[in-house]
Structure 1
């Protein structure tokens, strides 16, 4: 069978992109997974490349599954992911129970608490990897920019973690996608543009007309193919009017609108109905058509015009056809189409989509529909779909006739929008809510949300004051929320960099109501911070440490950033390590201030700098502060820093006691850099004391540690000191793990504890097959052949300590 010509397939000038797709598929077929984003403006040929990938994959033994992002579905949590995974769900029995449950709850196949999005991502990765075990799998996602946020996040998560599966993923979207390889499609060159244009026009073209079409299309393939079809023969012969200067996508959409506008009225209404129902359900479309009094023959002119194809699913020729048809329709026709779709949608199987269609069909207010939308919002929240809930609630507020109900729903919608990060939309909804009657608590919650938006949008001092006002108002109405609001005011003050001279928070926090029940982590944090400013660092350590312990147990992520800041204040490296493992980013948000002139982490640096600059009085004052804090903290990290700093200020033989104490303490904490620096200053002191032999030992260890950590400036300082003792620094002794990457070392350490590949995969958000691939490389580098041999090796980080991120 003859292959289509490049011009016929719309792929003129795309040889490099075809080669890239072939390389991706070849690698996946050989067990090296990969993903790529085909990026470019509307009509540039992204969908054509996706069709090419499908053809190449099908011809080489791949299973191909696909999904298409649809603008109307962006508010339905996991809608795009469900579209991709639905044909694979018969394989979920092979997934671990927590993963299977998360996926089924996310897809509405099982009731339960909203699933953790990371677990949904891991379940999707495991599902795709399981299918790929049976044969290579290609996943195609067109118009990824229209995916709902939950689906987009999960699929990006998967794409970044596929490694050793026989799996390839290809996305198309208009904007850049950070972290994934891209194929950026530019417009075609002039020669290729002319070739493609000639393939689309059967009649000869006047040279001037051809030049104008090529010029207007600006290399956009869809424009080159579609614009000539709307030009009368007389225009082709005698000239082509240039439209007003608009973007290519707008002109292309206008072309589709013109083509659909020439169809019979019944066909246009059927097209509109198909455009308003983005799932592509053929049976649903025919039921809706029957509601409108249309028979199946109404689709024939649309199919003949190349706008629509009705087979197993309803497919538009191009995503722009859908938007073109919908935007061109009148509001009454849109309401008719949505009304028919609502009537044709099963209220038990898909109540949320039915509610959405009913809402679009309503003219004016309707309490019954508004209440139905509010119930849909509740179901969306239960599935973890905050964006969907926000959309349902916003629509519900707009349709609510009674002012009190409308204000209540608008406030709920504003909170939901805020949760999804749509801050400007939340602010607009607050205006609607504020216009209606609200009780005292609802009014206080409104002012709280207004303050939170101020903090997130402007990060100014005004936010702290607004939060404090909200906290005072909430005090007698909702003590628990009031206490959380005081904490938010503290965070706002810290983030604005004005805590040191902002006494409003402390004055207000003194009046915070007591916890209404058993103290939560937030209550302990508030009490500890208030104590910190009223009674000092030492008195605050016990309540703050208890708060950290509770946060590590209950996993309340709202306060993890603040908890990380407090852990740094207390020099609690174990808490920092534990918090980093549960935070969505394995990182602690930085804070510039910790509520005192000299922060905990800054004090040791200040002392060493002051000593080296000869400012011993300043160093001594800082040491006094450091000693109070370190003894109150009591961690090896804190005590080691205090001993190191005291040694720097001690003269003669007495200093050695403090240097040794510093090394002893810091050997028992995770912060390798501070141990290395303790050995460095100890070695420098020994050299100055004329004890070259002893100095070499400390400086040698310091140089090895600092080199392994990549602290080049400190390592060079240690090397200079070593040379001053008469010894040239040597490369550190190679260990068994030296050839492993940090990622491979982490995997090897986990496997050495006895963890299975599946357990390690779950912990690292990878597939078991990827873990097995890493293990093969690890075994090869270490010269071993079994997991049991890993236990016999001393697999520690190159520094000898586990560094803290």
Structure 2
């Protein structure tokens, strides 16, 4: 079988019926019927090749539209290869053939006489080898030829002759009344269509793939042709086509399938069909709201007869037989015909701002204020429903139709801003340039905003962008810029400052915001107080957030995103979790994709906090793919930072360190303190998971000095427990206590319940015995605990250790058991091992995992004993002629075999192993 035949997909049932037809011993006929492009010719090609290989002589004929009016043109194609045998026919049969083929004059024979002569000729040809006649596009056979072929096809029994005819389902032919058995080729299923696309075009984007599948509607020819015309640039305009060619562009081959039938319609009927085709075409991935009635086509009997339309049985309305019919109608219409249709549809949809805007824009040529205003209002409507990419196109078109240069420049600036929020950074920069050319300014405020976002997202540039935006704020204040421009300037300034995490940068930002006085939007002040110095300004943020979210229903997606960031910084994100996830799904395809990236960050952080770590890793992978595909290096490193946190919590130490190193190497030279602090936080958690408390203290105190909280550092409060725990384990009790007291005195509990939980736990861990008991009891019962299970488990572990020191073994075992259970559920293996080790030390038998000293190699045993004796890696390496790095690698393998997580536990582990299993359990 040929490679082409191997590529026939989704036709197993039909191929089996055709195979049974060709393998049958007696003569017979079969009709393949289906829509244009459904794959009839491919199956006929396959039958031809198979039959030739099976010993058939195959004769093929192709119906041609231009010859459909020539009597016997089709029959001549079919019989011409066999005519040399007509000398063996009797005189009457040979005479009948000579007359119809112009070799002799005389009266034309009847269908029966000619049919019998053809049947006799076929019998002679099949006397030496079986014969297969294949007629493709039989609907274009001229009437006399089709009648004779149908006559013959009904009388093949007893002959070694088979006839296979391919016919269109929507075109009448003389074969229709022959009563021949048929195989109906339906459109391919969705699954088969996907397989065909994957085979022929494996590199399609998801957007183009969906457009092709929707418009091909299971038609194989369309599936193979449309990817050649639906390029990425075309796909981006198909969401809402404002140029009047509303419909998918067709190749010439696809256009020709319908061209004749469309041109044969009367002008009034063709205009009716164009109006129907242009109304409500869903070519893009963003569903359009439909609030009014669809256009109802009337007086289209000619189109029904041509097979272009069918009737919807549920409504009785005329509908197009296939999506390609609609696209062909639009493509074949003249510009004047399309504009007239759009004008009529704009009147029909006066009550729907978006649908009216689409048609007005396509019907209008010259600038017109009313149309531009409608488009601008429609753009704002689109952004609120998740169609930010559509809004860019509408604002750009509104600028083209603006009468004044000021309106045109303003609308191009708005389009540039929304493009920046839609991950269309190249388009945003181009729109900014156009806006500057219209206004005559080399770099207006809109250009500063857009270029600042681009530089921040792509390169993590927080230094030069901050300087430029501060200057633009000063210019806006002097010039009295409009409120929306001021708000956008201040918001981008806050975003830059947030990523810098630099108190000096924030000082200039605060001064710029204060200089605007009442012109600063209340939401901007919420962002400032939560993204910046939350310790000193965050006590009222949660209350203000509740009010803001209540007013935000149907708001701009970037405002919702910024509020969600504020909610995270005061640990209120869980309250808005369903809303956030809906926004991600709504905006991900053609909405504010840039904001989707930030929302995915927040979804992932929420999953980390709530203990859904598998889901968090999935969100991280999804986010990395999205950000890297758009070139958003800043956001990609954020996802790496969050993945590093998960790895550190789970005890995946090597992966955590790799991610920490990559983040730090990218962020530190750029001054992106937000990420360098995350790198420090990953380092602290990784060290805590490994039991390396000295390293943990160095990392945690690098974020904030014990006893204070570095201003404008989001990680300063979030690493409260890390710093206190590391300080206690390294003998720095005074520093631990001062930090716990600083948390109390800063009233962190007023900022968020989680910070209240951490503050209570820190005070318990560092207080005297009387104070500690009460505070631990409050901490483990804190209402925020279940929402932050990893924090709660760590507090339970610390509580158990305090209880064991207080010689209350039963209570300590209960605390260790609760901690171990939570760690096990989370997948925090290193922490789980530590809890179980403490549980055993408290006197509760714990099943061993098959490790222990017996599992150590001789060298590992020697290293373990030397390390337990207090020797450093360098000293051990010198004694055993190993590098300190190799010694560290061995210890990394030794700890899990002994069921411990730190060097400090080596001596006890080796001693317990020496006592034997029974002694250890006692």
What's the TM-score, normalizing by structure 1? 0.49
Q: Which has the higher contact order (CA 8 A, sep 6+)?
A: 1
Q: TM-score, normalised by structure 2?
A: 0.44
